[in-house]
Structure 1
Amino acid sequence: MMTINVGVLLAVIVVLRLRRRTEARSRSDEKLTVVIVLALGVVIAPTPAGEGILDFIAQLATGITDSSR
């Protein structure tokens, strides 16, 4: 039996959708892409990879705010 990781599937869909030319997208197409990206974020967030991404972004944000002082 073959299983599909939902996070990987959503990531592939996002990459395929973002490779299209911007001029070829309608407003509803862009909204669908945003919904898919948000769903990907919700799926990834509780995983160890999601925690690592969150830690990286937090360190990056701290570095930016510290350098602006």
Structure 2
Amino acid sequence: MMTINVGVLMAVIVVLRLRRRTQARSRVEERNTAFIVLTLGIVIAPTPLGQGIFNVLKQLVSGVSQAGT
């Protein structure tokens, strides 16, 4: 039996969609890509990988905001 991780599958779809030329995209296609990316973020968020990415981004934003003040 073979299982497919939904997050990995969606990441592959996002990469394939973003490799296309910008001029060749319609508004509907751009909306669909944005929806897929948003859904990928929701799928990844509760995982340990998502929490790690969140912590790194939180530290980066904290460092940038402290450097600005």
TM range (shorter): over 0.9
Q: Tell me the distance in 2 between the aligned counterparts of 1:63 and 1:24.
A: 38
What is the aligned partner in structure 2 of residue 31 from structure 1? 31
CA RMSD between the two structures = 0.4
Report the AA paired with residue 18 of structure 2. Answer: L
What is the aligned partner in structure 2 of residue 43 from structure 1? 43
Could you tell me which runs of 5 or more consecutive residues in structure 2 were left unpaired when the two chains were aligned. none
Q: Tell me the distance in 1 between the aligned counterparts of 2:32 and 2:65.
A: 33
What is the aligned partner in structure 1 of residue 7 from structure 2? 7
TM-score by length of 1: 0.99
Identity of aligned residues (%): 64
Residues paired across the two proteins, number: 69
Q: Tell me the distance in 1 between the aligned counterparts of 2:35 and 2:12.
A: 14
Could you tell me which runs of 5 or more consecutive residues in structure 1 were left unpaired when the two chains were aligned. none
